[in-house]
Amino acid sequence: MVLVALVLINLIITQKMESEKHNSLVRELASLFGKNGLNVRAIDSVTTKSPKVVVNSGGVGDGENKIPDIEAYDERNKRIVRGEAKIGNGDIESEHSITQYKLFSSRNSNGVPSLLHIIVPKGNKNHLNDIIVHNVSKEHWKNINLIESNS
């Protein structure tokens, strides 16, 4: 019984640390969006308005609809910009994440492809690049920007 309690406590602490790490990356990415003149419309679990659901009508990847961490708009280029934060620990290469990469980089609005920015902790950018190269159609690579966190 004590062992089960210790395992559960460890799991809760790990999830809390991962959640804090994810939130920190989301805040960093939102700050970068603002500095680059993007109009941040919504941040999942932070703003009162949630980012819009991206419908997975084509059965891409796991077949499920996805919500980005950040939804923004580039007024100058009339382009939807989405942001995702990945913390590592299996998050970068999960089927859920790969489906997000595919969906968020392939959608168009008024004929203009959306742009996806993905932020990862220091030391994970090359791994993320490998996952993108092996799982996302080459035609959509230009719609993905990989960012390594400063912290």
Tell me whether strands 39-43 and 70-74 are parallel, antiparallel or unpaired: antiparallel
pLDDT (0 to 100) of residue 13: 40
pLDDT (0 to 100) of residue 14: 41
Please identify every stretch of the chain with a pLDDT value under 50, giving residue numbers as ranges: 2-16
Spell out the alpha helix ranges (H) of the chain: 2-35, 95-106, 125-135
Q: Biggest alpha carbon distance in the chain? A: 60
What distance in Å separates the CA atoms of residue 2 and residue 90, rounded to the nearest whole number?
Answer: 28
Residue-wise pLDDT for 52-88, tens only, equals 999 998 889 999 999 999 999 999 999 999 999 999 8
**93 burial class (0-12, 13-18, 19+ CB within 10 angstroms)?**
middle
Q: What's the domain count of the chain?
A: 1
pTM (2 d.p.): 0.86
pLDDT (0 to 100) of residue 110: 81
Task: Please report, for the domain that includes residue 23, its CATH number.
Answer: 3.40.1350
Hey, what amino acid is at 109?
A: S
Supply the range of the domain harboring residue 89: 2-148
